[in-house]
A and B are shown apart, each in its own frame.
Chain A
Amino acid sequence: MIEEAEKHTLNRWTGHRFLLLVASTILISLFLVGVALALYASSGTAQLDLSRPGYKSVRDQAVKSDTFNGFPSNGPIDSDAITQFRTLYQKQSRQVDGSSFGGSVMSDQALSIDASAGDTQK
């Protein structure tokens, strides 16, 4: 009797084998997409992704690939190496913009959301 019941249950699942396969595949895919999106957001990759909507206007201005080879880590320290390093370092450091992300562009005045002189407190 028990054997018959087990057989019946087994047959019921076996009959929906394909459906089960599809459902489990979808569930696993959704889980993996969730993990990937969580990593994308938490790792800071999202902030570097200019393919996101809203960045179309600046996408072309991004430096596509870093062609700078850098200073070789192998070799002796001699006058030539020092001169080479000095040239490379000056070239890179000249491009650094120390004024970026300044606060004035986000001031209340710049956004016209400041309390104007005529305002009186309630």
Chain B
Amino acid sequence: MKRFLVCLAVFGALLGAVFWHGIAAADDQAPMTEAHITRIRSNCIDAQATLYRLHASDALQRVNQGQLYESISTKLMAPFDSRVALARLDGATLVSLATTYDQQLTAFRTNYQLYEEGMSNLLAMNCTNQPVAFYDAVADVRTKRQAVHDNVVSLQKTIQDYQNAFESFAKRFEAEK
């Protein structure tokens, strides 16, 4: 009897979780109101003008920050790791962090490309004729932009981690001298 009650409770909890998830999913896909669509239609030209300026400033950020990211990898991390390896010193952490950084830089390039292509399509849309499609496209591009931002955050973290690893290396080196 006790076992039956436990099974019933577990089954009830599972059913409740599935039901709750269904409600939450349905809430996410709630149909747009007519007033909301009208609001999008009337404001989307201004929104596109804002996005147009954002598109240009993002391209500038991509070029300038991208150059900086590249130079940190190719002109600082790689030469230093190479010297450490040639001197037969222990630079495993530094090499590992440089590899991580290169992978993150590749992800940044790919995600920015996806974001930029999405943004270009968004700017080319006739939003007054397709307000709902425009709204969905904004949400999609926003997600892609967030992915680029996440890459930027992780790159900055790795830059900081590399600096910390370098300071540990320098401390060890000075102590062994």
Contact = CB atoms under 8 A, between A and B. Distances in A.
Given A76-B87, A115-B33, A101 B173 contact: no
Nearest to A66: B67
A85 B80 CA distance: 8
A93 B43 contact: no
B138 interface: yes
Contact of A54 (B34, B43, B52, B148): B52
B76 A88 contact: yes
A98 B75 contact: no
A10 interface: no
A74 B80 CA distance: 9
Interface stretch (A14-22, A24-32, A55-63): A55-63
12 contacts: A70-B74, A71-B76, A71-B80, A75-B83, A77-B87, A89-B163, A92-B76, A100-B152, A101-B145, A103-B145, A111-B47, A116-B39
A55 B56 contact: yes
A21 to B, nearest CB: 39
Interface string B81-122: 011100101000000000000000000011011011000000
Nearest to B34: A122
Interface residues of B, number: 74
Nearest to A65: B67
A68 B52 CA distance: 32
A73 B80 CA distance: 6
A47 B61 contact: no
A48 B83 contact: no
B75 A70 contact: yes
B47 A113 contact: yes
A73 B84 CA distance: 10
A6 interface: no
A118 B64 contact: no
B125 interface: no
B149 A100 contact: yes
Contacts of B148: 101
Contacts of B35: 115-116, 118-120
A96 B47 CA distance: 29
B112 A96 contact: no
Contacts of B57: 58
Report, nearest first, the 10 A-B pairs whose CB atoms are least far apart. A70-B75, A73-B79, A98-B156, A111-B47, A58-B60, A119-B35, A101-B149, A112-B43, A115-B36, A101-B148
Contacts of B30: 121
A62 B68 contact: no
A33 B66 CA distance: 27
B73 to A, nearest CB: 10
Contacts of B52: 54
Nearest to A112: B43
A70 to B, nearest CB: 3
